[in-house]
Amino acid sequence: MLDLIAAGAGEVIRWEDLGLRNGIDLGFFTLRFYSLAYLAGIFLGYWHLSRMIREPGSPMAQRHADDLFFYCTLGIIIGGRLGYATFYQPELWGSTDIFKLWEGGMSFHGGLIGTTLAMIFVSWRNKLSLIRVGDYVSVNVGFGMLFGRLANFVNGELWGRPAGPDVPWAMIFPSDPLGLPRHPSQLYEAGLEGLLVMVVMLALFWRTTARFRPGLLVGVFVTLISLGRFTAEFFRSPDVQLAEFAARTGLNMGQWLTIPLILAGLGLVVWALMRPPLVATTPPPAPEPSSA
């Protein structure tokens, strides 16, 4: 990042001069960093969740974490892609391009819906508290958001609005037909939706008793990541097919979809703080009995 700012102090930064590639060429196949980012976020989240459930008061056992890993992965991928097709590029419906995940095009809101459905299913099947499962899962989402937004930058996609000379880190992206210096909004989102969310959520779980107030962690997460997304959208160019919608309504599609989430997150925080905390010695669910 310091190199980008230093380069920008002399002249406009060009994305192609940064030496970035969108994947690893294996000869017969290109392994996309976009796909690797999703995998890294999912596996790191699973590893960290497995550590979390060893602490006192866990609402689940390892077998439940394993189920969540599988079904949430499906929810992220399927929900994210279908959400993108629904909210941002409806012409993907009915086209085989909808399966080309390696080309990018995933919706945060679609992934959130898919993950929520996965948590509902796992909680219902195992008779777990949905709100507490959501608390534990929410602590780990920042990993994937950070890697995903960095992958957007590496891909040179989802660049921001035109930036003036007062933004020394503005850069020109090769996919921009106008060739204008723009905000690297992917990095703003990586910081707000990824790094900031990670720092706050990890601190709340490991340094406070927030996990003993059902709904508090997931409420803080939803509020924080939604506010981050809403803020970053002011610097991000709307999708080409939705530019007219953004100009007509004054807000990007992502911002309109985020407003209800901000309200829901704040409501969850208030609800959680008004209820008495759980006893810190609540035992975790018993592991699945092994068959002899």
State the pLDDT at residue 175: 85
pTM confidence score? 0.82
State the pLDDT at residue 285: 61
Cα R_g (the chain), whole angstroms:
20
CB atoms within 10 A of CB 269: 20
State the pLDDT at residue 184: 95
Checking if the pLDDT of 100 tops 70, the result is no
In this structure, what token pair is assigned to residue 229?
A: 């997304």
Residue 182 DSSP one-character state:
B
Bridge partners, residue 25, by sequence: 30
Q: How far apart are CA 91 and CA 186, in angstroms?
A: 24
Q: How far apart are CA 72 and CA 115, in angstroms?
A: 5
Checking if the pLDDT of 39 tops 50, the result is yes
| Mean per-residue pLDDT of the chain | 85
State the pLDDT at residue 134: 96
Q: Mean pLDDT across the stretch 175-180?
A: 89
Q: How confident is the model at residue 5 (pLDDT cuts 50, 70, 90)?
A: very low
pLDDT 10s digits, 104-153: 667 777 888 899 999 999 999 999 999 999 999 999 999 999 998 998 89
Q: Mean pLDDT across the stretch 167-187?
A: 93
